[in-house]
Amino acid sequence: VSSQQFSALTEVLFRFLTEPKEVERFLTQLSDFATMNKISLGPLKNIVKSILLVPNGALKRNLSPEQVRADFIALGLSEEKASYFAEQWKVNSPTLTRLAVGQTLMINQLIDMEWKFGVTAGSSELEKVGSIFLQLKLVIKKGSQLENVYVELTLPQFYSFLHEMERVKTSLESFS
């Protein structure tokens, strides 16, 4: 494989790594590459599979670009190609790291929040009430499903909640 072809292939690989959902696009680009360079798709797929193992392992273990380069050389890749790949790795690793962190397990993740507030005018027990209520709708991801949770808060509860959330923010910021 010439260095030009290698860079083209590397580009395809990294585009897939940074957008792992674009599987179809990746496969199309791979078969285009195969046809253009007169390589058969089967062996190419196998090579790509082995190559992909390197960045995935590197990501898991937070390897530096030099370590990635050394790994590739150990696998038998030429120095030039390994350096090129390591460079690409350096450029893309922030995005890839962010993606990996994003994939980390989250319990009951809060997806969305909607609210409305109003005044209770009257009830079956009390003719005139005039108290303010706040209703929150929280959209929570439980496993793979979304669940809506409805909660009502009084005004003092709301202010207390807001105050606590601001304390959480300060706490999170001090750890970033």
Partner 1 sequence: LGPLAQRACPGLAVSAEEAEQLVSALHNLTRHVVYRGLTRAEDILCLFPENFHQNLKNLLTKIILENVSAWRNEAQASQISLPRLVDMDWRVDIKTSSDSIVRMAVPTCLLQLKIQEDAALCGNNPVVSALTVELSKETLDTMLEGLGRIRDQLSAVANK
Could you list the residues that contact partner 1 (CB under 8 A)? 59-62, 97, 100-101, 103-110, 113, 115, 117, 120, 123, 125-129, 131-135, 138, 140, 149-153, 155, 157-159, 161-162, 164-166, 168-169, 171-173, 175-176
Coil, strand or helix: which one is 32? Answer: helix
Place of tokens 């808060």: 153
Q: How many CB atoms lie within 10 A of CB 77?
A: 19
Element (H, E) at 131: strand 131-142
Least distance between partner 1 and beta carbon 41 (Å): 29
Nearer to partner 1, 88 or 93 (CB): 93
What is the dihedral angle through the alpha carbons of 107, 112, 118, 123, rounded to the nearest 10 degrees? -50
How many whole angstroms separate alpha carbon 91 and alpha carbon 126? Answer: 66
Residue with tokens 């957008």: 19
Q: How far is the CB of 86 from partner 1 (least distance, A)?
A: 19
Q: Which whole-number Å values give the CA distances from 78 to 6, 33, 42, 81, 84, in the listed order?
A: 11, 21, 23, 5, 10
CB 41 within 8 A of CB 30: yes
Q: How far is the CB of 158 from partner 1 (least distance, A)?
A: 7
**Residue closer to partner 1, measured from CB, 79 or 166:** 166
Is the CB of 23 or the CB of 111 nearer to partner 1? Answer: 111
Measured from the CB atom, the residue of 47 and 149 that comes closer to partner 1 is: 149
**What residue has token string 């890839």?**
96
For partner 1, the closer CB: 23 or 113: 113
Residue 125 C-beta: closest distance to partner 1, Å:
4
